[in-house]
């Protein structure tokens, strides 16, 4: 299995621009998570989906952030407009709820820099 795939790996943009981060979960997994990691705040859960349906978006910082999961193999996290304080590493993770517990498998992350 290729694992969780994220693109792009690095993104540099200017303040005010729209940014779209992409994620392909592991095939067969029914949960998908978006996290943000910064030095100041550590790892924060932004939103998660179950069977393509958003379950909890309480971690989404503000209306500038939106996430979609149009099908079981693809999700996007969009920031519009972007601001310098959005600079962080964004991780996508997926899992499958079974007797082995809720192990989440993480992608390599997208390092976002907003100038």
Partner 1 sequence: AQSVTQLDSQVPVFEEAPVELRCNYSSSVSVYLFWYVQYPNQGLQLLLKYLSGSTLVKGINGFEAEFNKSQTSFHLRKPSVHISDTAEYFCAVTKIQGAQKLVFGQGTRLTINP
Residues at the interface with partner 1 (CB under 8 A): 4, 31, 33, 42-43, 45, 48, 50, 55-56, 91, 93, 95, 97, 100-109
Buried b (16+ CB within 10 A) or exposed e, 29-58: bebbbbbbeeeeeeeebbbbbeeeeeeeee
Provide the minimum distance between the beta carbon of 3 and partner 1 in the complex, in angstroms, as a whole number: 9
> Which of 54, 81 has the CB closer to partner 1?
54
> Which of 25, 107 has the CB closer to partner 1?
107
Provide the minimum distance between the beta carbon of 20 and partner 1 in the complex, in angstroms, as a whole number: 19
CB half-sphere exposure, 36, CA atoms < 13 A: 19
Provide the minimum distance between the beta carbon of 9 and partner 1 in the complex, in angstroms, as a whole number: 10
Provide the minimum distance between the beta carbon of 43 and partner 1 in the complex, in angstroms, as a whole number: 5
SS3 label, residue 86: helix
> Which of 82, 95 has the CB closer to partner 1?
95
Determine the Cα–Cα distance for residues 69 and 44; give it in Å rounded to an integer.
19
Q: What angle do CA 9, 70, 63 make, to 5 degrees?
A: 70
């Amino acid at each position: 299995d290729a694992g969780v795939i994220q693109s792009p790996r690095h993104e540099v943009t200017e303040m005010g621009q729209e940014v779209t981060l992409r994620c392909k979960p592991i095939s067969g997994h029914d949960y998908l998570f978006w996290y943000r990691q910064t030095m100041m705040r550590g790892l924060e859960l932004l939103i998660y989906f179950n069977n393509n349906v958003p379950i909890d978006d309480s971690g989404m910082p503000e209306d500038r952030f939106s996430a979609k999961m149009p099908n079981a193999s693809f999700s996007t996290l969009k920031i519009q407009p972007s601001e310098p304080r959005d600079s962080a590493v964004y991780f996508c993770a997926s899992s499958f709820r079974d007797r082995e517990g809720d192990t989440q498998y993480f992608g390599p992350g997208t390092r976002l820099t907003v100038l």
